């Protein structure tokens, strides 16, 4: 695809004006405005050629933004059997944590009814982190509670899994707990945590890769 | 044309007359030198109040300062043929003053007008004629390899000299207050040390450099400093940009901390003391100036600005040099491609690249291009307009076709404001290659095109959250248009025009639902972005 781009580029820069004049040598003097307009249209055409992709080079299903930009890790049975959580780590070190699809909460009849961030010593949804240095971010351990996920019959504590500063919790879950059902791995994320490099290395050792997690849970 | 005059010590009044027989030394003289320079000098000297000259000479004021303070027109004594020693002798002869002892640095100008100073190697230099100083400058310009068609001469001197002068002047006004010459000579402001030196050096310099002094981007600067200069805040805040002569590494800022506050106020005598004769005696702050000023010769060209628009055809080229842990990210940078092709044409020390906004390394910059400004520091030559056009063609003709340039031209310092102006308000146009998790319907194409000036709320994208404040930003999507791609039901091109500062990638995939609404949420399915191109950066002035 890049070869195609190079060819078009040459045309765009070097021949835009001359080509145009050749085509209109007689009309040129009488209608100078038209040639300017046509010139612009020609450039637009050339630009368009650059924009349209070669469909044969595109995958049927492309990797998602998460797959592409994050490394996926899993914590099976974290602190309690059935408490499967994921940790998606971005190249910049930030970790998005949430419920893995195999979490026990998804088995409950009636599904997830509520998400409550008021656990532990404070309401996690109330904190305000400001500035580049992330002032006021609370420092949590990996077993610190983030929120409580409630179903008809039960409730489950979701924990950080990663030691670090809590930057954000997904407040939308309060009003829309069903997001956990529709997309626990995207819009239904629980929180964003920023670990220190050293802390990450420590916890990484205890997490599973996607492949290993699949094997463990016998997923296809 | 060099200075041919070198007069020996004049010890005899007769020899003063001999000076008038000197051949016409220069024809580049100013308009008012119709008569022989030496005769003018002679006449001027004879018209001075002799007793005042003696008084001044006896407290260590140099001959040029004497002439200057007593209101002599500078072209009379600034002639490049008049050496230090000659002027001194003329004055002494005519007024009958005999100086005792060795050469002293002037108690007012600290040696500046005696063309004496310490150079950067701490060597004591005593030049005889302004021509000699002009020669040093010309050598420096040549050594630095500057090609010039004009120059601007600047002189900076320690504040202390001005204080010396005003102290002396007020003393003189008291002492000679009843005398007739005072009105005419002293009460009008006397020419400053700076102006005299500039005047003396300018003409020989014009000859040597073969060009005229004018308001020019090429600056020649004589920076004088003195250890004894008390810690005046004015002095310290002058903040000279120091550059060592002939440094190849470019410009370095060295703060001259040797210009120190040795505040010794108690030694600062006033001119109020009454002498034995009943008249107040003249005093200057320093009776014996043991050290002259320190002089640094500088020549440099002020920044030259080139502006234009750049295009980026590659998805592996960053805008600016990007190095992490000694490893370069991407195969090249727009900054380096443009800068490295332009800098050699100006033979400058360094360049600085500024652009109106930026795009990610994997995003192409197409269409009209993005405005940029290139700052060239200390250019040794200024190429013509045609050459600039050639540079543009050269960059556009590079084999690897990574970057393109449009409308490259030299711009004044207003280019800076032009670029920053309204940067935040500018609209940007993009084209994104989008994939959705279900087939695209005609309804979708229609509903998307109906959304105009739609407001979205974006939380700081996770990919930049580590270095940006967690904020929620309101942005406007001005318009959108879907272009179907033949042979595909789930891929399409999304053309959109948004407010500056909108994160397009996050608007497409939603960023974990932290950008609301997103293409995915509008179409009710999962949306992913595969490629992004900037197709227009709207800015009129560029």
| Predicted pLDDT at A198 | 95
- The full length of chain A comes to 220
Pairwise CA distance, residues A103 & A196, whole Å: 27
Decide if pLDDT at B269 tops 60.
no
Share of chain B above pLDDT 90, in %: 50
Arithmetic mean of pLDDT, B424-431: 86
Q: Where are the domains of chain A?
A: 2-57, 65-217
Residues 173-192 of B with CB under 8 A from A: none
> B488 touching A, CB under 8 A?
yes
To which H or E segment does residue B472 belong?
strand B472-484
Question: In this complex, do A134 and B470 lie within 8 Å of one another by their Cβ atoms?
Answer: yes
Higher model confidence: residue B156 or residue B232? Answer: B156
> In B334-377, at which residue ranges do the beta strands (DSSP E only) sit?
350-355, 364-377
Where b means 16+ CB within 10 Å and e means fewer, B520-531 reads bebbeebbbbbb
Arithmetic mean of pLDDT, B85-94: 81
| Predicted pLDDT at B238 | 45
In chain A, what residues touch B364 (CB-CB under 8 Å)?
A: 50
Decide if pLDDT at A208 tops 80.
yes
Q: Dihedral of CA B355/B359/B364/B366: which sign? A: negative
B307 - beta bridge partners? B373, B409
Contact indicator for B147, B348 with CB cutoff of 8 Å: no
| Predicted pLDDT at B171 | 87
Question: How far apart are the CA of A182 and the nearest CA of chain B, in angstroms?
Answer: 11
| Predicted pLDDT at A158 | 95
Q: Which of these, B228, B261, B222, lies nearest to B240 by C-alpha position?
A: B222
B454 - beta bridge partners? B477
Question: In this complex, do B431 and A194 lie within 8 Å of one another by their Cβ atoms?
Answer: no
Looking at B19-33, B45-59, B310-324, which range is the least confident one? B19-33
> B530 touching A, CB under 8 A?
yes
Arithmetic mean of pLDDT, A160-167: 95
Both tokens of B537, joined, read 């950066």
Task: Please tell me chain B's helix, strand, coil percentages from 3-state DSSP, rounded to the nearest 5.
Answer: 30, 25, 45
| Predicted pLDDT at B260 | 33
∠ Cα B414 B416 B419 (to 5°):
110
Mean pLDDT score across all residues of chain A:
84
∠ Cα A21 A27 A30 (to 5°):
115
| Predicted pLDDT at B180 | 81
DSSP-assigned letter for residue A126:
G
Known active-site residue B264:
no
Question: In this complex, do A132 and B469 lie within 8 Å of one another by their Cβ atoms?
Answer: yes
Pairwise CA distance, residues B188 & B184, whole Å: 7
pLDDT-based confidence at residue A31 (cuts at 50, 70, 90): low
| Predicted pLDDT at A147 | 94
| Predicted pLDDT at B534 | 95
Cis peptide upstream of residue B8 (ω within 30 degrees of 0): no
| Predicted pLDDT at B254 | 38
In chain A, what residues touch B470 (CB-CB under 8 Å)?
A: 129-130, 134, 167-168
Share of chain A above pLDDT 70, in %: 84
Predicted TM-score (pTM) of the model is: 0.75
To which H or E segment does residue B530 belong?
strand B527-537
Decide if pLDDT at B366 tops 50.
yes
Question: In this complex, do B485 and A9 lie within 8 Å of one another by their Cβ atoms?
Answer: no
Question: In this complex, do B401 and A6 lie within 8 Å of one another by their Cβ atoms?
Answer: yes
Residue B211: other Cβ atoms inside 10 A: 15
Arithmetic mean of pLDDT, B184-196: 82
For B383-412, how does the pLDDT look when each residue is reduced to its tens digit (9 = 90+)? Answer: 999 999 999 999 999 998 999 999 999 998
What domains sit in chain B, N to C, each tagged with a CATH number? Answer: 38-228+285-300 (no CATH), 303-424 (3.30.70.2510), 427-537 (3.30.70.3190)
For B108-118, how does the pLDDT look when each residue is reduced to its tens digit (9 = 90+)? Answer: 899 999 999 99
pLDDT-based confidence at residue B486 (cuts at 50, 70, 90): confident
Higher model confidence: residue A14 or residue B513? Answer: B513
Query: For the residues of A31-98, what is the DSSP string, one character each?
Result: -HHHHHHHHHHHHHHHHHHHHS--GGGS-SSPPPHHHHHEEEEEETT-SSTT--EEEEEETTS-EEEE
- By CA distance, what is A191's nearest residue in B? B512
Decide if pLDDT at B256 tops 50.
no
Residue B388: other Cβ atoms inside 10 A: 17
Question: In this complex, do B462 and A96 lie within 8 Å of one another by their Cβ atoms?
Answer: yes
Backbone angles phi, psi at B230, to 5 degrees: -65, 160
In chain A, what residues touch B526 (CB-CB under 8 Å)?
A: 64, 186
* Helix B84-95 with B50-58: angle, nearest 10 deg: 130
Contact indicator for B429, B363 with CB cutoff of 8 Å: no
Measured in whole angstroms, how far is the alpha carbon of residue B128 from the centre of its chain?
31
Q: Which residue bears the tokens 């690249």?
A: B353
Arithmetic mean of pLDDT, A176-182: 94
Arithmetic mean of pLDDT, A144-148: 94
Where b means 16+ CB within 10 Å and e means fewer, A110-119 reads eebeebbbeb
Contact indicator for B487, A57 with CB cutoff of 8 Å: no
To which H or E segment does residue B454 belong?
strand B454-459
Q: Which of these, B342, B331, B334, lies nearest to B311 by C-alpha position?
A: B334
Dihedral Cα A198, A204, A206, A210, nearest 10 deg: 170
Higher model confidence: residue B292 or residue B481? Answer: B481
In chain B, what residues touch A93 (CB-CB under 8 Å)?
A: 466
Decide if pLDDT at B22 tops 70.
no
Cα radius of gyration rounded to whole Å, chain B: 34
> B360 touching A, CB under 8 A?
no
Measured in whole angstroms, how far is the alpha carbon of residue A84 from the centre of its chain?
20
| Predicted pLDDT at B280 | 61
Question: How far apart are the CA of B397 and the nearest CA of chain A, in angstroms?
Answer: 8
Pairwise CA distance, residues A120 & B430, whole Å: 46
Mean pLDDT score across all residues of chain B:
82
Looking at A109-118, B230-239, B431-440, which range is the least confident one? B230-239
SS (H, E, C) B299-338: EEECCEEEEEEEEECCCCEECCCCEECCEECCCEEHHHHH
Dihedral Cα A30, A31, A32, A34, nearest 10 deg: -170
Decide if pLDDT at B200 tops 50.
yes
Arithmetic mean of pLDDT, B509-516: 96
B218 - beta bridge partners? B301
Pairwise CA distance, residues A109 & B376, whole Å: 70
**Which own/partner contact pairs does A122-126 have at CB distance under 8 Å and 24+ positions apart?**
A124/A166, A124/A169, A124/A191, A125/A169, A125/A171, A125/A174
| Predicted pLDDT at B229 | 57
CATH hierarchy code of domain A65-217 = 2.40.50.100
Mention every residue, 6+ apart, whose C-beta is less than 8 A from residue A198: none
Arithmetic mean of pLDDT, A206-213: 94
For A120-129, how does the pLDDT look when each residue is reduced to its tens digit (9 = 90+)? Answer: 888 988 888 8
Higher model confidence: residue B513 or residue B99? Answer: B513
Contact indicator for B49, B179 with CB cutoff of 8 Å: yes
């Amino acid at each position: 695809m890049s070869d195609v781009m190079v060819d078009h580029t040459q045309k765009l820069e070097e021949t835009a004006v001359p080509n145009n004049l050749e085509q209109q040598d007689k009309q040129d003097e009488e209608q100078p405005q038209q040639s300017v307009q046509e010139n612009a249209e020609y450039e637009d055409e050339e630009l368009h050629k650059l924009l349209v992709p070669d469909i044969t080079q595109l995958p049927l299903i492309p990797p998602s933004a998460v797959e592409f930009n994050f490394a996926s890790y899993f914590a099976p049975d974290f602190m309690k059997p059935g408490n499967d959580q994921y940790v998606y780590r971005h190249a910049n070190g930030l970790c998005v944590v949430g419920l893995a699809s195999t979490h026990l909460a998804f088995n409950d009849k009636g599904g997830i009814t509520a998400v409550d961030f008021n656990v532990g010593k404070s309401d996690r949804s109330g904190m305000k982190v400001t500035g580049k240095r992330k002032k006021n971010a609370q420092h949590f351990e990996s077993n610190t509670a983030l929120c409580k996920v409630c179903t008809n019959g039960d409730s489950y504590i979701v924990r950080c899994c990663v030691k670090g500063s809590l930057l954000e919790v997904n407040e939308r879950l309060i009003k829309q707990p069903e997001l956990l059902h529709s997309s626990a791995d995207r819009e239904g994320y629980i929180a964003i945590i920023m670990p220190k490099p050293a802390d990450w290395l420590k916890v990484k050792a205890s997490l599973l890769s996607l492949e290993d997690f699949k094997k463990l849970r016998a997923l296809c | 044309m060099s200075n041919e005059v070198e007069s020996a010590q004049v010890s005899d009044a007769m020899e003063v007359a001999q000076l008038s027989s000197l051949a016409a030394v220069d024809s580049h003289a100013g308009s008012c030198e119709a008569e022989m320079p030496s005769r003018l000098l002679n006449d001027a000297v004879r018209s001075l109040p002799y007793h005042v000259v003696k008084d001044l000479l006896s407290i260590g004021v140099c001959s040029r300062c004497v002439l200057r303070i007593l209101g002599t027109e500078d072209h009379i004594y600034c002639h490049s043929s008049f050496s230090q020693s000659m002027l001194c002798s003329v004055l002494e002869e005519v007024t009958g003053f005999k100086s005792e002892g060795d050469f002293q640095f002037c108690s007012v100008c600290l040696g500046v007008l005696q063309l004496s100073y310490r150079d950067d190697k701490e060597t004591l230099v005593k030049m005889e004629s302004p021509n000699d100083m002009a020669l040093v400058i010309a050598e420096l310009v040549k050594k630095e390899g500057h090609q010039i068609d004009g120059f601007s001469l600047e002189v900076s001197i320690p504040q202390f000299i001005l204080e010396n002068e005003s102290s002396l002047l007020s003393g003189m006004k008291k002492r000679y207050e009843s005398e007739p010459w005072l009105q005419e000579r002293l009460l009008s402001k006397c020419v400053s040390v700076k102006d005299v030196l500039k005047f003396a050096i300018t003409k020989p310099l014009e000859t040597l450099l073969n060009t005229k002094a004018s308001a020019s981007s090429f600056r020649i600067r004589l920076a004088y400093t003195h250890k004894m200069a008390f810690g005046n805040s004015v002095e310290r805040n002058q903040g000279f940009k120091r550059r060592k002569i002939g440094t190849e590494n470019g410009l370095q800022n060295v703060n001259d901390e040797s210009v120190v506050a040795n505040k010794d106020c108690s030694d600062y005598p006033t001119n109020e003391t009454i002498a034995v004769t009943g008249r107040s005696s003249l005093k200057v702050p320093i009776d014996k100036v043991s050290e002259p000023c320190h002089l640094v010769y500088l020549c440099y060209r002020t920044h030259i600005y080139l502006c234009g628009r750049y295009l980026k055809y590659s998805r592996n080229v960053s805008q600016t040099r990007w190095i992490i842990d000694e490893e370069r990210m991407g195969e090249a940078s727009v900054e380096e491609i443009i800068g490295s092709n332009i800098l050699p044409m100006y033979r400058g020390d360094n360049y600085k690249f500024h652009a109106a906004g930026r795009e990610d390394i994997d995003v192409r910059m197409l269409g009209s291009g993005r405005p940029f400004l290139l700052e060239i520091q200390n250019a040794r030559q200024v190429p013509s307009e045609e050459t600039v056009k050639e540079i543009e063609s050269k960059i556009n003709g590079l084999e690897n076709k990574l970057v393109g340039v449009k409308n490259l031209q030299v711009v004044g310092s207003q280019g800076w404001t032009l670029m920053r102006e309204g940067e935040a308000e500018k609209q940007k146009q993009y084209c994104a290659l989008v994939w959705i998790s279900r087939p695209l319907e005609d309804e979708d194409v229609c509903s998307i095109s109906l959304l105009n000036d739609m407001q979205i709320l974006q939380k700081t994208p996770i990919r930049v959250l580590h270095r940006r404040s967690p904020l929620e930003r309101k942005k406007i999507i001005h318009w959108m248009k879907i272009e179907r791609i033949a042979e595909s039901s789930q891929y399409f091109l999304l053309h959109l025009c948004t407010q500056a500062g909108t994160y397009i990638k996050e608007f497409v995939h939603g960023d974990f639902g932290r950008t609301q609404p997103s293409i995915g949420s509008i179409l009710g399915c999962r949306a992913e972005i595969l490629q992004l191109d900037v197709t227009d950066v709207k800015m009129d002035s560029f």
